[in-house]
Structure 1
Amino acid sequence: MRYKVPMASETVFPPRVKICGLSTEDTLDAALGAGADWIGLVHFPRSPRHVDLARAAALSARARGRAERVVLLVDPDDVLLIRAVEVVDPDLIQLHGRETPERVAAIRTLTGRPVMKAIGVATAADLTPLAAYAAVADRILLDAKAPPGAILPGGNGRRFDWTILAGLDLPRDTMLSGGLDAANVAEALACTGLGAVDVSSGVESEPGVKDPERIAAFVAAARAAR
């Protein structure tokens, strides 16, 4: 399926929202209370948003039935994948490393769970592998490419030039991330025509510390965009 900008006579659904990098019950509850569609749990030790699998499992259980639960992994091996699925029971696995399309397909088969692949974007050339990933992943996340030397593949508070997406025939289940916050999410949605957004650093008071008020403001701004 491919994304198209809806005509005036078509039904337009509110944008869907993912709050990523949650690590406490209070901020998880803030995301759920605001109406987030997905909650993201980061299992990547280098990240300030990292939670171990036991912690992720507790938060996942708290969110079950209230939002889709996403576990974010970076270049995971099969042992970690199987363990994460067993312990966290995610609705979706987010791959945020250098996984090839072949590896994405293998992970989807191994785990039996839907997979979202993040693609780092700085220029239009970075969109070249999009078709290959879209053929094997259930969702695509277009995120700002990490700067040279960065220790994190995402969550760096950077944005890319959204205008490079204009007019492209993007997969319907494409999500936008990178440098989003309550002040610019409406602009991002209008510029790209996408129907889903993912935020992490844009709802934090400092790296890894989510702010309930910023979470609520972001979700409200995204919902009001259409």
Structure 2
Amino acid sequence: MRSSPYGPAGDHLQHALILFRHLGNRTGEAWALDSLGALYTRLGQPGRATEHHQQALTIFRETGDRFGEAWALNGLGEAAHTAGRVADALTHHTAAADNGDRDERARAHTGLGHAHHTLGNHTLARHHYQHALALYTDLDLPEADRIRTLLAALDNSGAERREHHADECVDRSDEQVRRGVHRPLPGLEHESGGGQGDDGDEACGQADQAEPGGEQDRHPQPGQDQAAVGGAGVQHGE
């Protein structure tokens, strides 16, 4: 067989797909399609990945395979995230979290964490990464170490944001002292005829009200949305 541009894995999967279709093996066909979808995502071709995962999802639903359905949904979520369709990623990963067994639920929460991190919802990203970590740890899977690394990076980035914000407030305060501008005492704002700070003063004054370690949520919850990609493998049904 002529070698494809996708290496030996792509060659074997394409050949397997042809054989499963020839034999009328719908389950085998669906797993081959889903594995090809994961390969296309890794190759940076989310459009083709989506086509294959969607075909696999249709077959899994027709045959009542909820385990396979969760795999295909997570694959669709990862392809959508790669394509920049973060809302679609949230939808697919949320559905997978409700359908799969524990390792696919962990994969779904990982994808939800990636999506919320992309949207800047760091509190929700941490929430889903922690769910994924608990599941992977309970299953004694190596993916737990990767999630720990993601959580550590998220915590570090949160500390850097808070430190940067504090530095900005100190600089602003120093500038106000040089200009002779002072914020009025609480309760006297409306009695003061001037000397109020600008909008940045209020932001600095409210900094302590923000939740430690994360930004205030500015985006909808996963169930209200229409989740670097988690890196789906191309092996299934093991």
TM-score (norm 1): 0.29
TM-score, normalised relative to structure 2 = 0.28
Which structure is larger by alpha-carbon Rg, 1 or 2? 2
Q: Hey, which of these two has a bigger chunk of helix by percent?
A: 2
